[in-house]
Amino acid sequence: MSRTMPYSLEAEQSVLGSVFLSPAVMVSLMDKLNEDDFYDQRNQRIFYALKNLFLREEKMDYTTVSTELAQLGAMRDVGVSYLSEITDLVPTTTNLDAYVDIVKEYSLKRAMIKTASQIVEDGFNDKIRATEYIDDTEEKIFELIRRRKASEFVRINEVVNEVKEKAESRKNKGSLTGLSTGFGIMDQITSGLQPEELIILAARPSMGKSAFAMNLALNAAKHNKDQKAAVAVFSLEMSNEQLVGRMMASESRVENRKIKTGELTPKEWQFVDSAAESLGRLNVFFDDSSAISVQDIRSKCRKLKQESKLDFVVIDYLQLIKGDESKGGGVNRQEEVAKISRQLKQMARELKIPVMALSQLSRGVEKRDDKRPVLADLRESGSIEQDADIVLFLYRDEYYSHGKEDNGETELSFAKNRQGSVGNVLLFKFEKEYSRFLPITRREEDMGRD
């Protein structure tokens, strides 16, 4: 049995009638509707004609609209009597917003019906793989969600009130407005890891960036929401067992090497058992898929978010994320990485969570006398710097001093901080055997403050 698509002829006619009654309302309608939002094809053509006249700054009445429709070859489809009916309609413009909402509501429902029908049709296509089918389905649905939430201009007083309300809600909570990192001095600089932020943690290999990221992941789970904060860790380089082994070493203060071999004293076993029990209570989720795309990451994170199990995401590391294979070979890797960083920023905004992605630095660092990293060293894409809200660099001077004992002193520098100061350099002691970073002190350096 055939069914008619949902729509309201009365609402569509009232919107068009309001324009003939008061042409000035076309200014707001242009931002809220387009001809595709109308279901009746006659109404689509009339709105298109009105839009053309508006853009040319011409008068909008029966004569001008009928002339425009005739020039478009659409007057016969609309009909003289129907255009006269719309022109003579006298709706109250006071209710125009209500008419517009009804038209948009039915337009969105029709779009959902068409999308769902296409999803069903694609499901029967043997040429589409299941993973591609699921990703494409999610993308179609979220595109409709973005359309529903399409923003319009907001007057300053509304934003002012929102800022004041948030300030009042935080006045008794101190300066921490995001997730605590577990490092007090880092929290002071960032006010915590903020929702919608993309944080890049970059270093040359063997500087300890994976260990530092795991420290942050563990601290975020332990120090927020009464140890109920949920953290997702995507490790493209190390296995889940390797990561958790490091976490257990950090938590128990038992050397990672001993945990691997099982050569522990009875006392050390007690520490490991206690750490295992403590870690087991935390909401930390791991995915060690070695070949994973941003679409895969986003899909898994959406699922966790829908289950209210996502507050922070850590990805180790950005350059290992799989690119878009649908474009075939010959794709510029720099462009791929640029696209990946933009997609990670979009994911942070969509899910309203902080996302930390680790990144390699180019070998150009090794050629300089001062090997401290700078923004230009971000490997493969300048857009990483552009998309990131915070860029952090890890640096150990002893790493380059061959023959000199490495005391673990590590610099964490803020090369970019969109919401705060840059140039801050925090000192940590890296206890490599425990995969653990301990804060030492803070140092200010002139790195071009914004």
Alpha helices in 203-309 (DSSP H): 209-222, 240-252, 256-261, 266-280, 294-306
As to burial, measured by CB atoms within 10 angstroms (0-12 exposed, 13-18 middle, 19+ buried), residue 368 is exposed
Contacts for 287 with CB less than 8 Å, ≥ 6 apart: 232, 233, 234, 235, 300
Q: Identity (one letter) of the amino acid at 355?
A: V
The candidate with the shortest Cα–Cα distance to 251, out of 286, 282, 210, 296, is: 282
For 233-272, b/e burial (b = at least 16 CB within 10 A) is bbbbeeeeebbbbbbbbbbbebbbebbeeeebeeebeebb
What is the spatial distance between Cα 189 and Cα 322, in angstroms, rounded to a whole number?
A: 33
Cα separation, 294 vs 139, in Å, equals: 12
Residue 134 and residue 31 in contact, taking contact as beta carbons nearer than 8 Å? no
Report how far residue 295's alpha carbon sits from residue 360's, in angstroms, rounded to the nearest whole number.
21
For residue 15, give the H/E element and its range: helix 9-21
Tokens for 95?
């209710």
Whole-Å CA distances, 220 to 17, 38, 185, 213, 223: 56, 48, 15, 10, 6
Distance CA 167, CA 46 (A): 48
- Please state, in angstroms and as integers, the Cα–Cα distance from residue 238 to each residue in 214, 288, 317, following that order: 12, 7, 10
Structure tokens at 426: 């925090």
Alpha-carbon distance of 165 to 387, in angstroms, equals: 28
Give the whole-angstrom CA distance, residue 437 versus residue 331: 39
Active-site hit among 35, 138, 237, 335 = 237
Is 237 considered catalytic here?
A: yes
Helix (H) or strand (E) holding 230: strand 230-235
Report, as residue numbers or ranges, the catalytic residues.
237
